[in-house]
Amino acid sequence: MAMVSAVAYRQTLTILLVISVGNKAAASNNQCKDSCMTHWEEKYNSCYRFFPEPTTWRTAEDTCIFFGGNLASLHNEETTHFLIRLTGSTSNKLVRSWIGGKDMEKEGTFVWTDGTHFSYENWAPSKPDGKENENCLTINSGEAGQWNDADCAKLFPYICSYKLL
């Protein structure tokens, strides 16, 4: 029970930190999305930010929504390579991170939380493996940039994104 409480406490602190640090930036972002907020990187007409603090997929998505976006969706190999670099992953050290894919509504039918079409895939070998409790996507599973479905309650760093106008 103490482990669950410690995890919940850590997630609450993470959200409060994000809110306190990002509140001003998020407020200005809601008024105008023609440039990226501080600590965000622009690429492909979107802004991206890597959050290294491990958290659940739901908390990660909620944080991204707070900033006016969603967990990152991937639509091509170029974006995949950009996110590999953004997470600080190297060939010797992969940083497995949450992205915005999920199959919670229908097992095996993945969708992006930002509503964009799920047309590009980069699964690790033998993935997704169809386990019903693994409904959320991570990047950097297996080799750099490859995806895996994972239990949404696990704790991983995450990548948020939002579109520029």
The pLDDT of residue 32 is: 52
Question: Which tokens belong to 151?
Answer: 């239990």
Please give the Cα distance from 135 to 10 (Å, whole number).
Answer: 23
* pLDDT tens for each residue of 99-128: 999 999 999 999 999 999 999 999 999 999
Start-end of H helices in 1-157 = 2-31, 57-66, 77-86
Residues 156 and 138 sit within 8 Å (Cβ to Cβ)? yes
The pLDDT of residue 16 is: 42
| Residue among 79, 51, 45 nearest 66 (CA) | 51
The pLDDT of residue 11 is: 54
Q: Classify domain 2-163 at the CATH class level.
A: alpha beta
Please give the Cα distance from 81 to 164 (Å, whole number).
Answer: 20
First-to-last alpha carbon distance for the chain, in angstroms, is: 45
Triad 17, 71, 16: Cα angle to 5°? 10
Please give the Cα distance from 32 to 136 (Å, whole number).
Answer: 30
Q: Secondary structure of 94-132 in the HEC alphabet?
A: CCCEEEEEECCCCCCCCEECCCCCCCCCCECCCCCCCCC
The pLDDT of residue 49 is: 98
Triad 11, 102, 46: Cα angle to 5°? 80
Parts of the chain with a pLDDT under 50: 1-2, 5, 9, 12-31
Question: Which tokens belong to 9?
Answer: 């406490």
